[in-house]
Amino acid sequence: MGRISYVAVKRKAKYTNMKMGKGLKLKMFNMKQNFISLLMFLLIAVIFLSGCAQYGGKQTQISAPVKTSQPTSIAKNTIGIASSGFSPNALTISAGETVTFINKDSEPHWPASAMHPTHKVYPESGGCIGSKFDACKGLEQSDTFSFTFNQKGAWKYHDHLNPSLTGAIVVE
C-alpha cells in the first residue's frame, strides 16, 4: 500500500502542479491583456487631453503672414484677360515697373502695343512685329506675358487676336 499511495500522491501532486501551472499561465495572460488595455486607455486619454488643451482654454493668436512688397506690386500690376476684355482696362505705373498679363479665358489672347496690326505705338523696337511690347504669340489659358515699361507716356495696347479688346498703360 505504501507504493500505491506514493504513486497516487505523486500523480495528485503532478495533477495539482499542472492545474496550478495552467492557472498561473491564464493569470499571466490576463495580466498582459489588462496591462495592454490600460496602456491603450492612457494613450487615448493623453491624445484626447492634448487635443482639448490645444483647442480649449487660452487661445493663442496666429500671426498673419508677412506680406512683402514684391507680391503686392505683382498683384497690383497684373492685368487679367477674358473674353470680355482686359481687367483693369487702364493701369498707372512708374517707369521701370513690370506689368504681367494673364489669360483667364479658355480662348487664346495676344497682348501687344497698339495699333493693330503693326504694334508700333510703344517706342522700343525689337518685338516680333513692331515694338518690344508684344507677347509675339497667343497666350493659352493661365499663360502669362510680362513687360517692363521704361518709357514714360500713355501706351495703348490691344489683343492681336481680337483687336476690339483694348486698354492703356500710363507710365509716370
48 and 10 co-located in one domain: yes
Q: With 80 as the cut, is the pLDDT of residue 32 above it?
A: no
CATH at residue 111: 2.60.40.420
79 and 145 co-located in one domain: yes
Q: With 80 as the cut, is the pLDDT of residue 143 above it?
A: yes
Structure-model confidence comparison of residues 124 and 14, the more confident one: 124
The arithmetic mean of pLDDT across residues 110-125, rounded, is: 83
Confidence of residue 152 (pLDDT cuts 50, 70, 90): very high
- What is the per-residue pLDDT for 153? 93
- What is the per-residue pLDDT for 76? 82
The arithmetic mean of pLDDT across residues 6-24, rounded, is: 52
90 and 159 co-located in one domain: yes
The arithmetic mean of pLDDT across residues 122-150, rounded, is: 88
64 within some domain: no
Q: How many domains would you assign to the chain? A: 2
Neighbours of 27 (CB within 10 A): 10
74 and 129 co-located in one domain: yes
| Backbone phi, psi, residue 82, to 5° | -135, 175
Domain that holds residue 83: 69-171
Write the pLDDT tens digit of every residue in 154-168. Answer: 999 999 999 999 999
Structure-model confidence comparison of residues 170 and 22, the more confident one: 170
The arithmetic mean of pLDDT across residues 26-32, rounded, is: 65
86 and 47 co-located in one domain: no
143 within some domain: yes
What percentage of the chain carries pLDDT values higher than 90? Answer: 41
With 0.75 as the threshold, say if the pTM is over it.
no
The arithmetic mean of pLDDT across residues 20-40, rounded, is: 67
135 and 108 co-located in one domain: yes
47 and 79 co-located in one domain: no
Structure-model confidence comparison of residues 157 and 130, the more confident one: 157
63 within some domain: no
